[in-house]
Amino acid sequence: MGRVDPFIRELTSDEPVLEWFGMTIVEAHAGMATITLTVDPQQVNGNRMAHGGVVFALADQAFAMAANTVLRYAATADATIQYLAPSRAGDLLTARAHTTYHDERRAVVDVEVVAADRVVAIYRGTARATRRA
């Protein structure tokens, strides 16, 4: 495992969705993050391609980890994704996120999801600071 910001370790210490999807945080620090997932046979659709929701969830997780390294307790304000190529059961998907802008209330993060040598999807999200109760 690479470098993971202590805040990210704390934030994800009780996040069961990571295990449920089969995601691994490879690194998350200084406005960037890398998250992986091997597509499970139960995560494909009727076309035998990874379900778009699984690809989106992976990109969104990388986005969240990158955003939360620069903006504590950030939440998604908006997100878009473009699916560029299919992936299939057994493919290792890697989502690489990097923060392109941030101030004290917002962060914009771009994410590229790849499988081997092909780009599967491109995601862009905006995070907003939230208040902790």
Q: Output the tens digit of pLDDT for each of the chain's 133 residues.
A: 689 999 999 999 999 999 999 999 999 999 999 999 999 999 999 999 999 999 999 999 999 999 999 999 999 999 999 999 999 999 999 999 999 999 999 999 999 999 998 999 999 999 999 987 5
Residue 76 belongs to domain spanning: 6-129
Closest to 120 (Cα-Cα) out of 94, 93, 85, 95? 85
Q: Confirm whether 19 is domain-assigned.
A: yes
> Does residue 33 belong to any structural domain of this protein?
yes
Amino acid at 12: T
Give the predicted TM-score (pTM) of the model: 0.95
13 in any annotated domain: yes
Domain count, the chain: 1
Domain assignment present for residue 121? The answer is: yes
20 within domain boundaries: yes
In eight-state DSSP terms, residue 12 is: H
Tell me whether residue 1 is in a domain: no
Instruction: Identify the CATH number of the domain in which residue 53 sits.
Output: 3.10.129.10
Looking at the chain, which runs of residues are DSSP E strands? 23-29, 32-38, 74-83, 92-102, 106-115, 118-129
